[in-house]
A and B are shown apart, each in its own frame.
Chain A
Amino acid sequence: MDGSLPLWRYILGRLLQAVPLLVGILVVNFLLIALAPGDPVTVLLGEYPAPPEYVARLRDEFGLDRPVYVRLGRYIANVLQGNLGFSFAYQVPVVRLVLERLGNTLLLMGTSMTLAALAGLLLGVVSARRPHSPLDSGAMALSLVGYSIPEFWLGQLLVLLFAVALGWLPAQGIRSTRQEYVGLAAALDVGRHLILPAMALSFRYIALIARITRAAMLEVMHQDFIVAARARGVDERRVLWRHGLRNAAIPVATVIGYNYAFILAGSALVETVFGWPGVGRLLFDAILQRDTPVLLGVLLLVSVTVVLVNLVTDVLYAYLDPRVRY
């Protein structure tokens, strides 16, 4: 540890650095939306002309009749006090809308990433064990497909196969509609609804993690300490999973961490395809409805979590590899 910072000071420093970054993100997001053409009020009012007083009132209430810099200043002041404003479309606080959905998105992302990590590591290790074998080539071809296929299209295909043709799984939603379940049955019901969206979202990352694990394993397995372990007569399975994988896992952790923002973007598409009521769909709806406060609120949430997840990834990196210190 000589000469290096204690971990808590490193974390604190990183968190402080994040504040100006987040304010910058807030300003850019706000300006991008505020300066885009189009009027949120016209989208809200439907296809028949509304009374002009009503239009004027909405504009006043949303602050749209004030200059951009005034709106921006007021917005930042509100956000710093923890107030993300009211949704134009739903007339409820943005924080409430986001919190209603956050659990669903975390469930989908958490399940997908666990699935991706487990399947990806397994595929990668198996491929690396016998490079250029038919198993390896097959796994790598599959991962190439997985990496190239768009999530929303894969989602549709999964629905056509498992929901329409085979009738095994529900096509959309998070809970059954006709029956109401409680307790364990309710959890299992959500689980059934989770399978297809989680497959659609994780496929790409299974592929990515498999490829990276394979490359990392191939490199690690030629290192001296592996040779030494084998020379000591350590069981090959133990060499592979304990000595090899532990070292190969570092890039995998960073891949998941640094792809977090993309995973979130993917979940917006998957949530829309599967009617999954999460934050990603809230974002999608907010864009269509020009619901600026919700849009800004979700973008802020995404930015904050990206900063946090990157930080956690760096710390985890240090934990996995004791040589890394900041």
Chain B
Amino acid sequence: MKTIRCITAALFLSVLLVASGAPAQQPGGTIIMALGADPETLNPGITTGYAVGAITANIFSGLIRLGPRGEVLPQLATAWQVAPDARTYTFTLRRGVRWHDGRPFSAADVKFSLEEIAGKFHGRFRIAYANVESVTTPNASTVVIRMKTPFAPFLKMLDTFNAPIMARHLFAGEDIARSPRNLQPVGTGPFVFQSWARGDRVVLVRNPNYWEPVYPDRLIFRIIPNAAQRSTALETGEVDVVTDFYLSKTDVPRLRQNKNLRLRFGQPIPALDFMFINTRRSPLASAKVRQALAFAINRDQIVLQAMAGIARPAKGPFGDGFKFAYTPETDYTRLYPYSPERALKLLEEAGVARGSLRLSMVFDAARAPLAAAAQIIRDNLRQVGITVDLVPLERSVMIDRVYVKADYDLTVQSFTSNTDPAIGYHRIYLTAPSGQPFVNATGYSNPEVDRLLALAAQTSVVEERAKIYAQVNAILARDLPTLILFDEVGVDAARAHLRNLWQGLDARDAWWLVWGAK
């Protein structure tokens, strides 16, 4: 009886498989991914550049990698232990791994990469590495990392996008930032670098010695500078993948109708769009005036018009992408609903006469959604008698005006925070000397916020972290150095014949696991 049931189940299952047309895990073929620009280097240890990461995540490996829901999966490390005080991490390395040039990989490569490359040069990993006391290698397949202070997202930052492991035998003694080896990548990853024709393509081929199956024969990155052309290339099948970073949101409704494409909404790495308010300047130094701006600006309208509806009006100073950093009690949609009347009342209380306030709004002219948001804000603020002068600037000039010189009243900016708010968002609120690109531009400084954010960065237990963020959120909801506009909803697009897509947290990761390529 049991056997019959088993056979019936097996039959049923095979019928189901045939009926659904599920293809076998067919190896071979080429996957073509669109990039907007050439990578500036092929050494991922010295830059956070998006195109660099897209290519090199498939050439190099990290100690760990992050699965689609942010779960920590083995890569060069097969196992790890974290001491209860979160101050010691012990990694057991995979055995028998070889570099693409045939030399064996060992713990010495890991130590060298963390200490001499990513720890020194990688914009994000430096933040984590500042908490590291030592990296030791008791034997060739063990790495021990000791921390000065615990850092909650540390383990997750050991992936290839933050701490790629590079070959010590190639880089030792080199001037790492300027080494010619940065253009000839030799990794341990699933694909081997073959060629780079600048302005045209980068070609990678399968690494036959990789420890997991690598399905595609080749992974090719096509450089297509024009966003509209990336969408059409996807429609004509000239490229197979356009990730959110390079996908024009205005094309999404059209691509969505295309049966040959598969779109993924809400890619899991959060990104936030802010309006920063220069708190050094009168009358913006008054929290009352900043609150008035929050009431006067219609965030729903911005989502609808600037983002084609593909975004969520943001609910707190860290958005709602990281659940533990969002506090329902201080939800901005409740605290600051769109209300020009309340804005006018607050402005009056703050002594700002109607029609007397004129503000500059600086933004990166090349970012169409930000430019649209800036225009909507100008219209919104006109309703409450505030004149806004739009100042669209070329990117490097914008950075100079906003971050280096702090010569602005309002600015719209977009930030991501990788896998944790401590990596990319804390810098927006922490006290910092001005002059550094992409850190605190508002001039906001609150010792209590500084203390709480430092504590949040050290706290691994999620429930405890949530309580700390609740305190920070309460302060920031009152002080409002920034006004959150929206949480981006990422959209990644791929040709529908590809199977087993998006097996990594980052859309650029895990392309060796995709099958069905043509």
Q: Is the CB–CB distance between B235 and A164 below 8 Å?
A: yes
Q: Is the CB–CB distance between B48 and A38 below 8 Å?
A: no
Q: Is the CB–CB distance between A46 and B48 below 8 Å?
A: yes
Contacts A177-B238, A285-B37, A285-B38; A91 near B397 (Cβ below 8 A): no
A89 contacts partner chain B, Cβ-Cβ < 8 Å: yes
Q: Is the CB–CB distance between A164 and B200 below 8 Å?
A: no
CA distance A36 to B397 in the complex (A): 9
B30 contacts partner chain A, Cβ-Cβ < 8 Å: yes
Chain A residues, CB < 8 A from B123: 45-50
A43 contacts partner chain B, Cβ-Cβ < 8 Å: yes
CA distance A52 to B502 in the complex (A): 36
| Minimal Cβ-Cβ distance residue in B for A178 | B30
- Chain A stretch 244-293: residues in CB contact (< 8 A) with chain B: 272-275, 277-278, 281-282, 284-285, 288, 290
| Minimal Cβ-Cβ distance residue in A for B180 | A91
CA distance A164 to B222 in the complex (A): 18
Contacts A90-B198, A163-B236; A177 near B438 (Cβ below 8 A): no
A29 contacts partner chain B, Cβ-Cβ < 8 Å: no
- Chain B stretch 89-134: residues in CB contact (< 8 A) with chain A: 120-121, 123-124, 126-127
Contacts A90-B38, A177-B222; A160 near B198 (Cβ below 8 A): no
A40 contacts partner chain B, Cβ-Cβ < 8 Å: yes
A144 contacts partner chain B, Cβ-Cβ < 8 Å: no
Chain B residues, CB < 8 A from A47: 48, 123, 415-416, 437-438
Residues of B within 8 A of A (CB-CB), count: 56
Contacts A38-B397, A45-B437, A49-B438; A178 near B226 (Cβ below 8 A): no
Chain B residues, CB < 8 A from A101: 198-199
Chain B residues, CB < 8 A from A275: 200, 222-226, 229, 233
CA distance A39 to B238 in the complex (A): 36
A136 to chain B, nearest CB (A): 36
Q: Is the CB–CB distance between B199 and A281 below 8 Å?
A: yes
Q: Is the CB–CB distance between B40 and A57 below 8 Å?
A: no
A281 to chain B, nearest CB (A): 6
Chain A residues, CB < 8 A from B183: 91-92
Contacts A40-B396, A273-B226, A284-B225; A164 near B438 (Cβ below 8 A): no
B399 contacts partner chain A, Cβ-Cβ < 8 Å: yes
| Minimal Cβ-Cβ distance residue in B for A276 | B199
B244 to chain A, nearest CB (A): 16
Chain B residues, CB < 8 A from A277: 197-200, 223
Chain B residues, CB < 8 A from A45: 123, 437
A54 contacts partner chain B, Cβ-Cβ < 8 Å: yes
B213 contacts partner chain A, Cβ-Cβ < 8 Å: no
B464 to chain A, nearest CB (A): 27
Q: Is the CB–CB distance between A177 and B32 below 8 Å?
A: yes
- Chain A stretch 134-191: residues in CB contact (< 8 A) with chain B: 156, 159-160, 163-164, 167, 170-175, 177-178
B451 contacts partner chain A, Cβ-Cβ < 8 Å: no
Contacts A47-B438, A48-B123; A173 near B238 (Cβ below 8 A): yes
B206 contacts partner chain A, Cβ-Cβ < 8 Å: no
Q: Is the CB–CB distance between A51 and B400 below 8 Å?
A: no
Contacts A47-B438, A177-B30; A285 near B225 (Cβ below 8 A): yes
Chain A residues, CB < 8 A from B169: none
Q: Is the CB–CB distance between A54 and B30 below 8 Å?
A: no
The number of chain A residues touching the other chain, given as a range, is 35 or more
B220 contacts partner chain A, Cβ-Cβ < 8 Å: yes
Q: Is the CB–CB distance between B226 and A177 below 8 Å?
A: no
Contacts A91-B178, A97-B198, A273-B229; A173 near B437 (Cβ below 8 A): no
Contacts A89-B40, A164-B232, A272-B226; A48 near B438 (Cβ below 8 A): yes
CA distance A40 to B41 in the complex (A): 16
Chain A residues, CB < 8 A from B498: none
B174 contacts partner chain A, Cβ-Cβ < 8 Å: no
Q: Is the CB–CB distance between A178 and B518 below 8 Å?
A: yes
| Minimal Cβ-Cβ distance residue in B for A274 | B229
A63 to chain B, nearest CB (A): 15
A82 contacts partner chain B, Cβ-Cβ < 8 Å: no
Q: Is the CB–CB distance between A42 and B47 below 8 Å?
A: no
CA distance A37 to B178 in the complex (A): 26
CA distance A89 to B123 in the complex (A): 17
Per a CB cutoff under 8 Å, which of B200, B397, B437 touches A37? B397
CA distance A278 to B199 in the complex (A): 8
CA distance A173 to B396 in the complex (A): 29
- The interface bits of chain B over 214-244 (1 if a CB of A lies within 8 angstroms of the residue's CB, else 0) are 0000001011111011001101101100000
Given contact pairs A173-B233, A288-B395, enumerate 13 new A-B contacts (beta carbons under 8 Å). A38-B394, A38-B396, A39-B396, A43-B395, A49-B439, A100-B198, A163-B232, A171-B233, A177-B238, A277-B223, A281-B225, A285-B37, A285-B38
Closest 6 CB pairs of A and B: A48-B123, A38-B396, A277-B199, A38-B397, A277-B200, A46-B48
Interface residues of B (CB under 8 A from A): 30, 32, 37-38, 40-41, 47-49, 120-121, 123-124, 126-127, 177-178, 182-183, 197-201, 220, 222-226, 228-229, 232-233, 235-236, 238-239, 366, 394-397, 399-401, 404, 415-416, 424, 427, 436-439, 518
* A/B interface sample: 26 pairs, CB < 8 A: A37-B400, A38-B394, A39-B399, A42-B400, A43-B395, A46-B48, A46-B123, A48-B424, A49-B437, A61-B178, A97-B198, A156-B228, A159-B232, A170-B236, A171-B236, A172-B229, A172-B232, A173-B200, A173-B224, A173-B233, A177-B238, A177-B239, A275-B224, A277-B199, A285-B37, A288-B37
Interface residues of A (CB under 8 A from B): 36-40, 42-51, 54, 57, 61, 89-92, 97, 100-101, 156, 159-160, 163-164, 167, 170-175, 177-178, 272-275, 277-278, 281-282, 284-285, 288, 290
